[in-house]
Amino acid sequence: MGKVLEGHTMQLMTKWGITTPRFVVADSMEQFDALVREIPWLETTRLVVKAHEAIGGRGLLGLVKMCTDLGRTRKAVQEILSFSEEKIAINQVIIQENIIHSNQREFYASIVTRRDGVDLMLSRWGGVNIESRWDSVQKLFIPIDSVPNKEILEGFAVSAGFDLDYLQPISEFLAKLLTMFDEEDATFLEVNPFTVTKEWGDAVALDAVLELDEAARFRHPDWDFQFVSNLGRPMSHAEKNIQEIDEQVKGSVKFVELDGDTALLPAGGGASVFLADAVVRAGGTLANYAEYSGDPPDWAVEALTERVCSLKGIKRVIIGGAIANFTDVKKTFTGIIQGLRNVKKRGEMPDNVEIWVRRGGPNEEEALKEIRKIVEEGFKIRVFDRKTPLTDIVDMAFSQEGK
């Protein structure tokens, strides 16, 4: 599943008739100044400036700023873009119209997919303190292929404690959210907060978090955005690079940076889980999550190998997988071997890093023969075939380290 940044979420909401504040996105002061020259309302409207990144707790980090005039807005954009903290880099800001409303008129809504339908949730309380009022959140289960009518949605709003004046705008708002959720192949949608004002006459989504089914992109030609990290931080350059490759190729390549001493290059999601558990059990820490599967091209595996093996501070690399059914082991190992050579040539992998390999599948003998040869190029590498249990290479990596 892929998380979508706030600006792209707002665009999709507008597509389905859901009211949102006007907004623009800028990645530099030069771009912001150009937008001000082109868009009159930026000079005359109270604004909110936020980091346009997948970061939890933006307000607590000082990455959400209310602005009453253009001067304060410009200062806020500059401060957020120059924000510096370990592992957080702000690449964009979203500058949004500030819809004036009372804190007592901040509401919460969300939709979460289930195997047999979705849960629609609603509260007359919203905003940053919703967790402390979670007992106020009401839940309505909607089975697959069922569409709740106006009466059901209004009754649901009554059960959540809303006054009669709010029933029509809120039921209409919920109906639009459900339509968007279904039509856009969403798996999670949270609108926190939304409000209802006399000026607008209907519900306005002030902030939203959206996750979509990445595999459904082929059905949505207007998804012209990249998905973002679910780790509460912006995606790194390496993560974005692998994500872009993943979207281009048959099969799959995945990569997430962590902070450990053991790098993993597993073949398949199952192997990634087994190897990760084995590393933790052995007392190691994970430097990354990764996997390649579905017989991806060798150049994609090469790029993934480079990202994995150039991680800072790693002591060992575990390259493992079960016995493949159709993934050509020789082809993917051609990519792995070239990736290893590339990082060594660039000096990105220390000489003392140990590499442990276990793999089986089509053309495994040729593949393992080729990767064994690179020991002659200065790699500290140990190679095992299908006869060795997958997680044994992790135990050996820790027990024989330095021998």
Domains of the chain (ranges; CATH) run 22-97 (3.30.1490.20), 103-219 (3.30.470.20), 237-399 (3.40.50.261)
CA distance 92 to 54: 11
- Output phi, psi for 205, to 5 deg: -80, 115
8 Å CB contact between 43 and 37: no
Q: What is the pLDDT of residues 241-282, one digit of tens each?
A: 898 899 888 889 999 999 899 999 999 888 899 999 999 999
Question: pLDDT, tens digit, for every residue of 287-327?
Answer: 999 999 888 999 999 999 999 999 999 999 999 888 877 77
Residue 141 identity? F
In tens, the pLDDT along 17-67 reads 999 999 999 999 999 999 999 999 999 999 999 988 877 777 778 888 999
Q: Does the pLDDT value for residue 228 go beyond 80? A: no
CB-CB neighbours of 157 under 10 Å: 25
Instruction: Check whether 230 has a pLDDT greater than 70.
Output: no
Q: Please state the rounded mean pLDDT for residues 162-177.
A: 94
Please tell me the distance from the alpha carbon of residue 156 to that of residue 171, in angstroms, as a whole number: 8
CA atoms of 12 and 4, how far apart (whole Å): 10
Position 361 scores a pLDDT of 84
189, two tokens: 């949608």
The answer to whether 90 touches 51, Cβ cutoff 8 Å, is yes
Strands (E), 90-173: 93-97, 107-114, 117-123, 138-143
Residue burial 103-125, b: 16+ Cβ < 10 Å; e: rest: eeebbbbbbbbeeeebebbbbbb
**Looking at residue 372, what is its pLDDT?**
93
Query: pLDDT of 207-219, one tens digit each?
Result: 999 999 988 988 9
3-state secondary structure of 386: coil
CA distance 363 to 350: 30
Average pLDDT over residues 104-115: 91
Mean pLDDT of the chain: 89
d(CA 227, CA 241): 12
Determine how many CB atoms are found less than 10 A away from the CB of residue 168: 17
The pair of structure tokens assigned to 220 is 């949505």
**Mean pLDDT computed over 146-160:** 96
The H-or-E segment that residue 80 falls in is helix 70-81
pLDDT of residue 18: 96
pLDDT at 402: 47
**Strand 252-257 relative to strand 88-89: parallel, antiparallel, unpaired?**
unpaired
pLDDT at residue 351, rounded to an integer: 75
Query: CA distances (Å), 103 to each of 107, 124, 127, in order?
Result: 9, 11, 8
